[in-house]
Structure 1
């Protein structure tokens, strides 16, 4: 009799095994669900960090280049027009580049958000200023150089606007286009929009040189 009682407690019953396996399955499901939630949260945070880094790179690049805008006037043109053309998503200007870029000196430059099948990227084109140049059309054939090395796949659009007087002595106002033949804008505002609809707070660039110091 004692032998039979010991044998009955020697292992698990089938019901006990089924209950243990079921509980283990529930625990694994909960653990897997928590892991997936953690991965999704991490991906969301990482995406926000990537967007932040992208905008910081864009802001740093634009600020550095636009601050070097130089009040150059085209030679051999009526009234020696100011060499600056501001559009909604493109700006063309003359900049005083440091010697570490090429040979330094005055260069025609343009900044544009270019769209293609591969995504969006910030394109910078430049070429040395010569006395034979009368507009920015030559930049279309200039070699492309990406100083920032930034592929803007997460940026959907960039808006550029320009602060200056309306007319020669009018009140200051923001405009999506700058075509003044006599002066540079006082400020250049840049707005960035991501592909997911999020808009980054505006940032403003002030050219270091004013129109009074004309070459």
Structure 2
């Protein structure tokens, strides 16, 4: 009687081990691919959020108002104070709609327990109100009889090791002229404001935000026949 050919126990065990190794390789590849896909989606989401943030800032900065305010010392100043790392200005409460109420805004870096963040402070603009630049967004004392200031704080993005760097172009400067690092106590608004981030980060790159102020584009249209 002829014996039927078959697998020995050792051959069966070897086949099972090889199949197990193959499954491990397949699952490992799927895991790496899944993590790569998730990282790509996070990166795309961060880029989309940065784009939306830049659009909001562009709309507000472009509508900076050419207003005069009086300081607490009685000095008449432009309602626009630009520093290398922060900017205070007045603009409509809704970007793109000049008919809405005016607000004070301050773009600056804040230090939090989990790191630095780019924030936007906002509060209602009051015509004729004496301005103290250092306490502009602090609640006024009820004992003074003034209506308390209601300020808002909007966290825009985590900065990690990056720093905000602002630049200002004078109205009469050439387009390729070096930007000024400050715009304080000036008689006119700057023609252009740039917001950049310096330093290294694993977050998507922040393209320099260059905003031409509407004040000058409106003036140009008025001069045209």
* TM bracket, shorter-chain basis: 0.7 to 0.9
Indicate the residue corresponding to 1:124 in structure 2.
Answer: 121
Instruction: Return the alpha-carbon distance in structure 1 between the equivalents of residues 94 and 203 of structure 2.
Output: 37
Give the alignment's Cα RMSD to 1 decimal. 3.3
- The structure-2 alpha-carbon separation of the partners of 1:44 and 1:112, relative to structure 1 and needing over 3 Å to count, comes to same
- The structure-2 alpha-carbon separation of the partners of 1:138 and 1:93, relative to structure 1 and needing over 3 Å to count, comes to same
Contact 1:71–1:184 (Cα < 8 Å) also in 2: yes
Q: How big is the shift at 1:123?
A: 2.6
2:190 pairs with 185, 202, 212, which one?
185
Pairing of 1:66-81 with structure 2 (within 5 A): 66-75=61-70, 77-78=74-75, 80-81=76-77
Superposed CA offset, 1:155-203 (max 9, x none): 64322211116xxx77653022211420111100111356327532212
Q: How big is the shift at 1:145?
A: 2.4
Unaligned runs of 5+ residues in structure 2 are 139-148, 220-225
Indicate the residue corresponding to 2:223 in structure 1.
Answer: none
Indicate the residue corresponding to 1:64 in structure 2.
Answer: 59
Indicate the residue corresponding to 1:206 in structure 2.
Answer: 212
1:27 pairs with 22, 27, 39, which one?
22
Q: What SS does structure 2 have at the residue aligned with 1:107?
A: strand
Q: What SS does structure 1 have at the residue aligned with 2:214?
A: coil
Contact 2:120–2:156 (Cα < 8 Å) also in 1: no
Contact 2:103–2:122 (Cα < 8 Å) also in 1: no
Contact 2:169–2:191 (Cα < 8 Å) also in 1: yes
Instruction: Return the alpha-carbon distance in structure 2 between the equivalents of residues 135 and 44 of structure 1.
Output: 46
Q: Note if 1:39 corresponds to 2:34.
A: yes
Q: How big is the shift at 1:151?
A: 5.0
Pairing of 1:66-215 with structure 2 (within 5 A): 66-75=61-70, 77-78=74-75, 80-98=76-94, 104-119=100-115, 120-141=117-138, 142-146=149-153, 151-153=156-158, 156-164=162-170, 172-192=177-197, 195-196=201-202, 199-210=205-216
- The structure-2 alpha-carbon separation of the partners of 1:162 and 1:75, relative to structure 1 and needing over 3 Å to count, comes to same
Aligned length: 201
- The structure-2 alpha-carbon separation of the partners of 1:75 and 1:57, relative to structure 1 and needing over 3 Å to count, comes to same
Superposed CA offset, 1:80-109 (max 9, x none): 32121112221101223359x9x9333322
- The structure-2 alpha-carbon separation of the partners of 1:201 and 1:170, relative to structure 1 and needing over 3 Å to count, comes to closer
- The structure-2 alpha-carbon separation of the partners of 1:190 and 1:82, relative to structure 1 and needing over 3 Å to count, comes to same
Contact 1:114–1:123 (Cα < 8 Å) also in 2: no
